[in-house]
Structure 1
């Protein structure tokens, strides 16, 4: 009987535990997590804070009791794995409540430790009320502060996906919101023209944006920026990014890659064949270029969990790489991307061309329609789709999903012409925007 120990009990860890049990009814499965909540929908946290999801417990998919009673999986919360002994195949575990340590043996070890929010060293930061939003406890702290202290203003540091989602949700509950972003654009992963549409949407809803700027000094609610301007905020939300939790792996001699993630092969094994890594802390490869890539999103964690579960239970299914397909809501806009952006393509040896398609989401004569800005990059030689970005009022998700599928399948721009996509006036046009991108490619 195999014994599997899993570090982490959120998206990757809880999923891989469940899937191993599905394929192996007899394996002994033990899960450790240092937090006090497991298996919750982290992506829903901004919408709990914004009041769109009324009960925070609705994000919790399972409890330790349910895992034990329904799946015979032992989950220990408030337990931190502090050391891996690869020779003896044991982990050392600290019970955070009793402060007692113990050892646990394993046949296979799966690391899904997630990441830690980046908080830059800033003079006087300790004088401010500051939050990060990484786990369930963070969300409850922010909610508690908002409900009891009734703040009127917030500065969000960082204009990535979480930053802009939080901007919308804080505005929706009546706060004055500013964003401080060190780079020249919001949502730095997007191409500049797509980013500009998002910035306008934020500004149109009253969000003040300070680009190419950062906080140099904090004096309570007064924040001094590098530009010399001082802005006021009742609290700060740090949303710069996440540093992968790799110390445990590094101390055990596992290879850490150029993205600072734990290096894995096509089956998510580390340089120790008995230890796997999945989720935010795992480094794998880009689907298109084969370069090292780490994507801290829910879909990769769930897919990686499936592959590890199959591999441990005897079936080899390779992980084919990461596209980084993602979408977010910014007030009335949906913003999505997949594959390589313009910056990555310019830094690569590939020759590429770009099509920009401005369309309606569906028939213009139908009363419910919106604008779509669709941008597709493709290989000049093979004509294969390399990346896409889309911004618009509706229908963005299905276009980016079609284009993600096209990249995965190796389709060309000419194939986009031929895709038979669903049409009726409420949904699209006889030639969908994706078709039009194909027709317009030289």
Structure 2
């Protein structure tokens, strides 16, 4: 059996390693258009800010190690340009030589990921305009900041990457403005919880322009000028575009595979596409939302890793299924930790749920033990059944632990009554005796 994998990083690399563990005789070829096949993309902003000092720390597996450890043929700097389903081949172009060749497959896994959204208003071919998706993007931005010592930056987009980029630029001494079209940062949060994030960023010197729409990025003699819809002009030495991502599904579309919402790749619970010999995993794939049961796009590394392993299992004859994505996430925002899972209140109401919320303020640990800091928790539940629909937490240490407890409870079907009966560990340095997810 020969399996060709298009794309590495989370989904593709996980699929490759799992395939080898299940089948020692399979021929596995992984084609990755960048120079890095398996890297910590969530760590890229922290390399820009110097928190991760050694670029080698970003690389989880090198092509050489994949070959030596797993006997996998990894071809970086190569891009698949077409899929021929009838002949069961893919067309591959080598970036360095320009050579194009056909690679046959028995099974094909698509793991192309999602591409940064670059609006026409910002499609300026300037070395001062950056996105932050690949290792090469992070290297370029880090080099610019350290070598050119820019004074002012504008980050466009208030999601995970935008916030992390803004934080790390500030830590590098760059005066930073963050422009966000919606009136709040972090879409997974409700407005009342996002307010804590706004205050934290402003306290650390980030200027927020909420409700600001990008009209143009112009290059002038003095540098860049970011022009907004209300007429405001923001001078900048560099611009980071973090507006969002879109599924990179053009290969699937051109090959005639069924597509899902926003042009994503449609796949079933076994990660199989409309072609039984082609699988798809990661950010380009439409999944089932764990709360609503409806189709959704969830661009996170955790689901991509799981999907890669499931595709490998199914190819090797195992009955693995992907149970859906709940969107559990956590992000560092200067001195805060911000986490969420499931639906926020606004999303739950938009989906038609008759829901209610409870807002709680436990300490990070017992108040009588030194160093306790407040947490703010918002739990969304269905009014009649007390079914958990989602949760958001903003605070200090312990935020990640509590969101994980709530995520597990929600995914296992616990309602509010069962939640209070959970038997969890407690000690004064770690938990609050009055913690609603750690009743002691």
TM-score, normalization: structure 1?
A: 0.96
1:37-116, aligned counterparts within 5 Å?
Answer: 37-116=36-115
Decide whether the 8 Å contact of 2:345 with 2:355 is kept in 1: no
Correspondence for 2:284: 281
Correspondence for 1:329: 332
CA displacement at 1:259 relative to structure 2: 3.7
CA displacement at 1:350 relative to structure 2: 2.0
CA displacement at 1:176 relative to structure 2: 0.5
CA distance in 2, matches of 1:228, 1:55: 41
Correspondence for 2:228: 225
Correspondence for 1:255: 258
Per-residue CA deviation, residues 271-316 of structure 1 (Å, 9 max, x unaligned), is 1111110011011110121111121111001111111111111111
Matched, 1:300 2:303: yes
Per-residue CA deviation, residues 60-112 of structure 1 (Å, 9 max, x unaligned), is 01111111122110000111111111112111111111111111111110000
CA displacement at 1:266 relative to structure 2: 0.7
1:416 to 401, 419, 431: 419
CA distance in 1, matches of 2:60, 2:316: 24
CA distance in 1, matches of 2:31, 2:225: 41
Correspondence for 1:245: 248
CA distance in 1, matches of 2:331, 2:206: 17
Correspondence for 1:131: 130
CA displacement at 1:125 relative to structure 2: 3.6
Decide whether the 8 Å contact of 2:366 with 2:372 is kept in 1: yes
CA distance in 1, matches of 2:124, 2:131: 13
Q: Which moved more, 1:374-383 or 1:247-256?
A: 374-383
The structure-2 alpha-carbon separation of the partners of 1:128 and 1:122, relative to structure 1 and needing over 3 Å to count, comes to farther
CA displacement at 1:223 relative to structure 2: 2.1
Correspondence for 2:320: 317
Decide whether the 8 Å contact of 2:39 with 2:60 is kept in 1: yes
Aligned length: 436
Residue 338 of structure 1 aligns to a residue whose secondary structure is: strand
CA displacement at 1:219 relative to structure 2: 3.3
2:386 to 383, 386, 390: 383
CA distance in 2, matches of 1:65, 1:229: 50
Residue 255 of structure 1 aligns to a residue whose secondary structure is: coil
1:118-197, aligned counterparts within 5 Å?
Answer: 118-122=117-121, 125-126=124-125, 129-197=128-196
Correspondence for 1:33: 32
CA distance in 2, matches of 1:218, 1:114: 26
Residue 359 of structure 1 aligns to a residue whose secondary structure is: coil
Show structure 2 runs of 5+ residues with no match. none
Residue 302 of structure 2 aligns to a residue whose secondary structure is: helix
Residue 224 of structure 1 aligns to a residue whose secondary structure is: strand
Decide whether the 8 Å contact of 2:432 with 2:438 is kept in 1: no
Decide whether the 8 Å contact of 1:124 with 1:219 is kept in 2: no
Give the root-mean-square deviation of aligned CA atoms. Answer: 1.5
Residue 227 of structure 1 aligns to a residue whose secondary structure is: coil
Decide whether the 8 Å contact of 1:128 with 1:219 is kept in 2: no
Per-residue CA deviation, residues 204-232 of structure 1 (Å, 9 max, x unaligned), is 11100111112323333222221222222
Q: Which moved more, 1:44-53 or 1:225-234?
A: 225-234
CA displacement at 1:128 relative to structure 2: 7.4
Residue 261 of structure 2 aligns to a residue whose secondary structure is: coil
Per-residue CA deviation, residues 405-425 of structure 1 (Å, 9 max, x unaligned), is 011100010011111121111
Residue 186 of structure 1 aligns to a residue whose secondary structure is: coil
Decide whether the 8 Å contact of 1:286 with 1:321 is kept in 2: yes
CA distance in 2, matches of 1:223, 1:59: 31
Q: Which moved more, 1:137-146 or 1:424-433?
A: 424-433
CA distance in 2, matches of 1:372, 1:138: 35
CA distance in 2, matches of 1:51, 1:386: 38
CA distance in 2, matches of 1:36, 1:376: 43
